[in-house]
Structure 1
Amino acid sequence: MRDSKYSRPTAESSSPAGPRAVIGLGEAIALIVGVVIGAGIFKAPSMVAGMTGDAGWMFAAWALGGLMSIVGALCYAELSTAYANAGGDYHFLQRAYGNSVAFLFAWARFSVIATGSIALLGFVFGDYMHQVLPLGGPQSAWGPAAYAAAAIIALSWLNIGNVKYGTTTQTWLTALEVGGLLLIVGAALFLVAGGHAPPAPAAAAAAAAATAPGIPASFGLAMVFVLLTYGGWNEAAYISAELKDGRRNMVKALVLSLLIITALYMLVNWAYWKGLGLAGMSGSEAIAADLLRTAFGRPGAAIISLIIALAAITSINATIIVGARSSYAAGRDWPVLAPLAVWDARRGTPANALRIQCAAALVLLLVGVWTGSGFKSMVEFTAPVFWLFFLLSGVSLIVLRIREPHTARPFRVPLYPLLPLAFCATCAYMLKASLSYVYSQSLGGWNAAWVGVVVLAVGGILLRFLRRRAPAPGN
């Protein structure tokens, strides 16, 4: 049951005091591509190759991941065009379930989903930049953290300055990132042209792969890693109120970006396969580095470090842009959080939300320096929280179709309700998989499942406090 009746207009006003339609289609595509393509494509392919055990099934998994992501994107296209709002998922959850569920989502996103991603990506950027250009010597403990902090501060400052600064930077970063992935493909073409043949698999493994019938037993687990590597396209919802001609361009931005991403992922996996072979892929700890080292020798390691650092900083910038929008939306609804709702009309940015997000990410960065790998685990263990809200967002499409049948929907997801149900089933599967993973892990002697529970419990305490101080409208 919803705890309040929500009666905002279906589309956010493009007034001088709020978001205006200033982001073009190309910039939106660059943002989506940039936020999706992170470090995953440099790690997941080796695990997927090992779990599928066959080149055909491996490529099928990556193609299926792209198709399933497009199905979800079509659902988000309907929500984002019918309810264009800077709050994105926050706004959908609020309309479907009320202020309490929406606030818990905004809290989880602020405390760990967005800010945690920014901090983790900062560490990835810092680690690889430190390999190329060490600060304080190769063994310095503070060098990677200094790179990470500098990137977060610089990109936050850039995005506070003007929305166009951030989106133009994103376009160039994404172009360079795509160029880096194409360089990996070029390395494979170089090897193929030179007559290189990947190492043959061991006889036992080859025989097992040749005689194994049907779908591989670990195909479902492989899809978990594939879908995680495709994750992030839903962030497009946070620019729905700022996208030019959003009623048409939102669908184009989501579908075109996912087609680009799917094509890139297929090409990169083909490059790994041609350069290393399936056995080489599954046995590699650093698959991209191994391929470039095979093609270019020792300089290949430096090249791949720069490519991964570039992918990380591209995702950092994209996450900074979209991450602050949900905090801004929550600030509009809760009087105590009003400072978050400041929109700088001249610059076109949620200035305070960006500043506070930057500060929170830097605090998490310090936590990461203090706890080491424990911080990375802590963020990963909140995955069930993300998939829970992602599932609720998918269900909200069906809820809002029933509750608000007369709302104008410029785009309607085809084959309703089959495609929304398929998307919800995918989210439910990923929720189950993430729960199974965290239940099997521990952090500081505690079951890792408690990490997500603590995040939501703290959010619940804050919710009670906010309601006592000054409730949101309708509460």
Structure 2
Amino acid sequence: MKGGSGAGENSPKPVLRMVDAMVIIVGIVVGAGIFRTPSLVAAYTGGWELFLATWLLGGLVSLIGALCYAELTTAFPNTGGDYHFLMQAFGRRFAFLFAWARVSVIQTGSIALLAYIVGDYLSPLYYLGPYAPAIYAGLVVITLTVVNILGITFGTGTQKVLLAIQFVGLLLIITVGFLIRPSPMALAALPVTDSPSTALGLAMVFVLLTFGGWNEAGYISAELRAGSRKMVQVLIISILVITGIYLLINSAFIYVLGMDRMAASTAVGIDLMRVTLGEPGVFLVGVLAALAALTSVNATIFTGARTNYALGRDFKTFSWLGKWNHKTSSPIPALLTQGIVSLALIGLGAMTRDGFQSMVDFTAPVFWFFFLAIGVSLMVLRKKKQQIPRPFRVPLYPVTPIIFCGSCAYLLYSSLAYTGVGALVGVAVLLLGTLFFYVIR
């Protein structure tokens, strides 16, 4: 039985509305990264014109990638998402390796690092000791895993509430930035960068990382009530909304702080609120950043379990993962497994000085390797599966997928060149999956 067919009680049903899908995608992408990366981008762009241009370019590259995904999701709708595309293009061995990477590195690592952001922002508000970030992160994973086990309606409903609160907060920051005059004394107290530099390539690394997550649409294409053909519209609208949000909030940062103060900042959102609303504003943006990360964690848990389900459906050794609860419309064993691995990674991060950075190093190279493989799979399937109807064909083929693959290849190189030992650990876990395949085949 194919996971996207909808036949039988052990397969997903098309219950998601288009607005549900857009809420999930926007919620994954617009996370706490927008409170961390603008200062890094400012440090490597120098002028405000180039700064905003990099964010616009990030939206354009993401839109190109979304168009590639739109062809794959409409031609091959399946709850397995990327896993299913890679299975069709490269076979069971490579698809298994990807599923292994999702379970052990990519998705669980992403859940852990997002949960750490929640912990990092909540710890100053209510301190629980030296391991407070890890404790908060663990509680987040447990709570949101239970929420998603309760069912797709409860999970997407929670996502809508979290996203609504997050959008209100982002709108507040944008409004404060443009309408409230900053305190000259508070501005003067902020540090200013001494040596701005221009490194557009490195700036784009941070921008595209902040845009990351829209590809999770592939995992819900088979559950879209309007049919997988509507995923094109869902992806394009979501990317445009995300790009608009990023341009507005970054414009507010520039307007209040200027490029020099942005580049020197380690928490640009907190600095903006400190010079406009004072300490109450600092508390508010701390809560907001935690909520932004919480929204992304919930959406990532929701989509991540779908790959585990597909793995269990296709490989007998993992058949216990391929069980779908018809009443709640959720893969309960897959959710539980994902939660346990994520908690283990949070524990691993607690042993380091910076849990968040460790998880970034751990996940980035493996993520961009498979993202590149997805771009290649589009071109492979054009030749290998010519007879399959394609309701949507990516425009300007093959230029569009080549641009997408080039972007992914550059980010793969950057993630290996600029990250620490954690990157090598992530690659080692991926290679371990190759050996494991031969054991269970």
Larger Rg: 1
Alpha-carbon distance in structure 2 between the residues aligned to 1:287 and 1:78: 38
Matched, 1:141 2:120: no
The match for 1:434 is 415
Residue deviations 1:107-152, cap 9 Å, x none? 11111211111122222112222322334xxxx1243333222221
Q: Please give the residue correspondences for 1:58-457 in structure 2 after superposition, counting only pairs within 5 Å.
A: 58-135=51-128, 140-192=129-181, 217-373=198-354, 376-377=357-358, 379-438=360-419, 441=420, 443=421, 450-457=424-431
Where 1:19 maps in the other structure, the secondary structure is: coil
Q: Do 2:361 and 2:415's aligned partners in 1 also have CA atoms closer than 8 Å? A: no
2:183–2:275 Cα contact (<8 Å) kept: no
SS at match of 2:223: coil
Cα deviation for residue 302 of structure 1 reads 0.6
CA contact (8 A) 2:113 2:355 kept: no
Q: Is the 8 A contact 1:200 1:277 kept in 2?
A: no
- 8 Å CA contact 1:10, 1:82 repeated in 2: no
Fraction of identical pairs, as percent: 48
The 1-side partners of 2:192 and 2:102 are apart by: 48
Q: Deviations over 1:36-83 (max 9, x none)?
A: 122211111111111110010101000010011011001101101111
Confirm or deny: 8 A CA contact 1:163 1:348 kept in the other structure. Answer: yes
Point out where structure 1 has 5 or more consecutive residues left out of the alignment: 1-7, 210-215, 468-475
CA distance in 2, matches of 1:246, 1:362: 35
| Equivalent residue in structure 1 for 2:33, among 40, 47, 51 | 40
Secondary structure of the residue aligned to 1:70 is helix
CA contact (8 A) 1:383 1:434 kept: yes
Q: Residue 456 and residue 143 in structure 1: after superposition, are their counterparts in 2 closer, same or farther (change >3 A)?
A: closer
Matched residue SS, 1:325: helix
Q: Aligned AA for 1:157? A: V
* TM-score, structure 1 normalization: 0.88
Equivalent residue number for residue 462 of structure 1: 436
1:410 match: secondary structure? coil
**In structure 2, what is the Cα distance between the partners aligned to 1:233 and 1:202?**
35
Contact 1:11 1:82 in 2 (8 A): no
1:20 counterpart letter in structure 2: K
Moved more, 457-466 or 88-97: 457-466
Relative to 1, partners in 2 of residues 1:133 and 1:204: Cα closer, same or farther, differing over 3 Å? closer
Cα drift, residue 17 of structure 1: 2.1
Are 1:14 and 1:241, in contact at CA under 8 Å, matched by a contact in 2? no
- Moved >3 Å (runs of 4+): 8-15, 192-205
RMSD: 2.5
Give the Cα–Cα distance (whole angstroms) in 2 for the partners of residues 144 and 422 of structure 1: 39
CA contact (8 A) 2:9 2:324 kept: no
Q: Which amino acid aligns with 2:127?
A: P
1:414-468 CA distance string (max 9 Å, x none): 1111111111111111112222224xx3x3xxxx55323311221012111111x
CA distance in 2, matches of 1:92, 1:99: 11
Matched positions, count? 441
SS of residue matched to 1:80: helix
Query: 1:240 and 1:86 mapped to 2: Cα distance?
Result: 7
Does 2:46 match 1:53?
yes
CA contact (8 A) 2:4 2:223 kept: no
TM-score using structure 2 length: 0.94
In the TM superposition, what is the alpha-carbon distance from 1:382 to its structure 2 partner?
A: 3.5
**Distance in 1, Cα, partners of 2:279 & 2:289:** 16
